């Protein structure tokens, strides 16, 4: 977990399950914005409820709110032409993070994606989690869904909002500076970097002034992952929390392929009597993510870890709860999977909360999902899975290891 010095006790945190809960709150906040909106997402899909979020961004920009939108070049790609034109005309400033270009993902440096989902409104409210701008009942690759996607996000106020705003502002102005340099507009690039520095100072000062009267009780911290200063913070947060668990660990994760350290932490926790339960993807979505995870299950099952596969729809959650009913509750909601793409390559963001009420709420939702929407994996069924599936599992696992070797990472 983040070290105690990184937590502050001035937060108000609210949990949302699915876009059906999140989007109305997000839209209401954007409709009430008076100065600026910073928005980052991996996927921005304009089908169904996603269009309502886009319309809220356009409304804000039309009334003079500074509105910055960044989408990922793989998750979103190019915005649909009609929406790109509409947002631009409304005054929304938008950028595509790391567009693929001609060779696309054949270039390993293109594997470093913007996977975090963050929205800061007026420097005072932060939305963070795993929920993309994507209708709960729609999947871009699989079409209509019969049950909503299983995912979570939080809305928080307090001192961590400034940290989120700061990192988003830095990314925006770095992208702007790179754009200007490529166009040989060097004075504009220098000005963009200076503007970023001034904006950070203003945000920090405003946050300090707001904190003076803050009495909100929840302890929370923002944990970021990038490829410069924060390469392993999210993984270390998980390792510390699992390592200090006394009673229970519950993890819900969409694409689960933990590295050696995380596997060992989960096994050690189970062996010392901690009840460890995993809620994982039960439906086939992508070849690599589905099959590369399976070879890890045997070691965990042998140690007594419970694995439940979510079946009604796609599980997209990236959350965890440790000792919710103990004296040191810990919970996290964010964008980071426990796989090498998230923990070694992508920009990610998680909110970590030390609060019994919040942890208990999240725990109840996860336990309900395991009991009513999950199928517990039987060790004998796992060991006896068909030869074809075992071959595909090993092929995917080997390809993932090869990809890591190409990037120069150990996992």
Catalytic residue list: 115, 117, 122, 316, 318, 323
Sign, Cα dihedral of 82, 88, 91, 95 = positive
Residue 91 tokens read as: 């005054």
Using CA atoms, how far residue 240 sits from 266, 332, 341, in Å, is 11, 13, 21
Using CA atoms, how far residue 320 sits from 101, 152, 166, 284, 366, in Å, is 36, 11, 26, 22, 9
Identify whether the C-beta of residue 132 lies closer than 8 Å to the C-beta of residue 42: yes
From the CA atom positions of the chain, what is the Rg in Å?
Answer: 21
Q: How many residues does the chain have?
A: 411
SS3 3: coil
Please name the residue that has the structure tokens 């693929």: 100
Residues 6+ apart with CB under 8 A from 73: 96, 97, 98, 99, 100, 113
The whole-angstrom separation of Cα 97 and Cα 114 is 7
Long-range contacts of 134-138 (CB under 8 A, 24+ apart): 134/19, 134/43, 134/45, 134/47, 134/50, 135/19, 135/45, 135/47, 135/48, 135/49, 135/50, 136/18, 136/19, 136/20, 136/49, 137/48, 138/45, 138/47, 138/48, 138/50
First to last CA, the chain: 19
Residues 6+ apart with CB under 8 A from 320: 238, 241, 249, 250, 251, 252, 253, 330, 331, 332
């Amino acid at each position: 977990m983040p070290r105690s010095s990184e937590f502050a006790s001035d937060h108000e945190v609210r949990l949302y399950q699915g876009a059906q809960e999140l989007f109305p709150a997000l839209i209401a906040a954007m409709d009430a914005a008076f100065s600026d909106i910073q928005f980052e997402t991996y996927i921005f899909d304009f089908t169904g409820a996603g269009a309502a979020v886009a319309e809220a961004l356009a409304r804000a920009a039309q009334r003079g709110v500074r509105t910055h939108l960044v989408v990922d070049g793989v998750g979103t790609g190019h915005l649909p032409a009609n929406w790109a034109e509409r947002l631009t005309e409304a005054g929304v400033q938008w950028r595509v993070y790391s567009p693929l270009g001609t060779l696309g993902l054949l270039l390993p440096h293109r594997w470093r994606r913007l996977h975090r989902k963050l929205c800061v409104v007026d420097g005072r409210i932060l939305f963070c989690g795993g929920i993309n701008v994507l209708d709960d009942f729609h999947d871009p690759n699989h079409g209509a869904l019969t049950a909503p996607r299983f995912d979570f996000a939080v809305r928080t106020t307090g001192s961590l909002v400034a940290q989120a705003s700061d990192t988003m502002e830095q990314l925006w102005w770095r992208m702007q500076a790179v754009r200007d340099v490529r166009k040989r507009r060097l004075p504009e690039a220098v000005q963009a970097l200076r503007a970023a520095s001034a904006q950070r100072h203003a945000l920090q000062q405003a946050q300090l002034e707001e904190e003076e009267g803050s009495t909100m009780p929840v302890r929370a911290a923002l944990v970021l992952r990038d490829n410069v200063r924060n390469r392993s913070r999210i993984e270390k947060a998980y390792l510390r929390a699992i390592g200090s668990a006394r009673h229970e660990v519950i993890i819900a994760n969409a694409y689960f392929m933990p590295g050696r350290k995380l596997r060992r932490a989960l096994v050690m926790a189970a062996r010392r009597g901690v009840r460890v339960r995993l809620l994982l993807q039960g439906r086939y979505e992508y070849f690599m993510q589905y099959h590369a995870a399976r070879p890890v299950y045997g070691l965990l099952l042998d140690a007594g870890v419970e694995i439940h596969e979510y079946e009604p729809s796609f599980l997209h959650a990236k959350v965890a709860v440790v000792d919710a009913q103990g004296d040191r509750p810990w919970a996290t909601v964010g964008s980071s999977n426990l796989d090498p793409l998230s923990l070694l390559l992508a920009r990610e963001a998680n909110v970590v909360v030390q609060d019994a009420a919040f942890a208990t709420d999240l725990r109840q939702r996860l336990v309900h999902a395991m009991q009513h929407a999950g199928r517990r994996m039987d060790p004998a069924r796992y060991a006896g899975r068909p030869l074809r599936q075992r071959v595909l599992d090993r092929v995917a696992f080997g390809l993932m290891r090869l990809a890591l070797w190409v990037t120069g990472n150990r996992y």
